[in-house]
Amino acid sequence: MNIGTYLDNVRATTPLVHNITNYVTVHDVANILLACGGSPIMTDEPDDVEDITSICGGLNINIGTLNKRSIEAMFIAGRKAASLGHAMLLDPVGAGASRLRTETAKRLIADFRFTTIRGNISEILALASGGSSTRGVDASLADAVTEANLQAKADFAKAFAAETDAVIAITGAIDLVADATRCYAVRNGTPRMASITGSGCQLSGMMTAFLVANRESPLGAALAAVCAMGLAGEIAESRMQPGDGNSTYSDRIIDAISLMDGATLERGAKYELL
């Protein structure tokens, strides 16, 4: 597998992605899509989403700032995207933290076949089993993927992939990317990425572009996007200067993605098949 090819395909095709995403990070999601070679468009107006989804190749649904209007829009856009065979990604932000979030995410999964479901381990556990110890939108340390439980968590990810017929991407200190038969562990990234808001939302937007540009290989596309984001976090940290803080770090991640090519990703990706 040449991980870098997946990024090169994004840059060669400029996939247009419709994002129904949360208001906290919408600007960052748009910028990272542009940085990786994609093209973003955002709307959560129910009267607008069907037309917008129709002209795109992928739909990124992020439930981070739910309201009745945006929930209606998610289902309208989802039906249109499904009818057109588009790549679809669900980011169940905060699933397990509230009944509305959890039930909305479960309804979306029941109604649509998502290409990929991407979240932290607590969010994915909440959707799969109803049991997690989520801390708002952050994963709980009690749920974390570690070297000690790596194989058990990989087996869980494959089982949930089989149940949902989706690639499951679980991000954290060790990332897992799985379909029903294979699971990759990714060790790119840095703890500093947890100090800024939006890196997960950015990854979901960028991953959707990778899925659109690599329709025949959703597992590889999701894996490449996870590696690219983690590698960007490493590069960004290496470029920090005295006096730089969180805002600079966030910008440097986007800079790293914008300057990354397939060869750089291929050299820097750290993943293994479990």
Q: Where residue 129 falls among pLDDT bands split at 50, 70, 90?
A: confident
Task: Tell me the backbone φ, ψ of residue 54, rounded to 5 degrees.
Answer: -60, -30
The 10s digit of each residue's pLDDT in 257-272 is 999 999 999 999 999 9
Asked if pLDDT for residue 132 goes beyond 80, the answer is no
Report CA torsion sign: 90, 96, 101, 105: positive
Secondary element (H or E) of residue 152: helix 150-164
Contact 116, 218 (CB under 8 A): yes
pTM: 0.94
| Number of neighbouring beta carbons within 10 Å of residue 148 | 8
Helices (H) and strands (E) in the chain, counts: 11, 9
Q: How many residues does the chain have?
A: 274
Average pLDDT score, the chain: 94
The CATH fold assigned to 3-273 is: UDP-N-acetylmuramoyl-L-alanine:D-glutamate ligase (3.40.1190)
The 10s digit of each residue's pLDDT in 44-84 is 999 999 999 999 999 999 999 999 999 999 999 999 999 99
Domain borders along the chain are 3-273
The 10s digit of each residue's pLDDT in 145-155 is 888 899 999 99
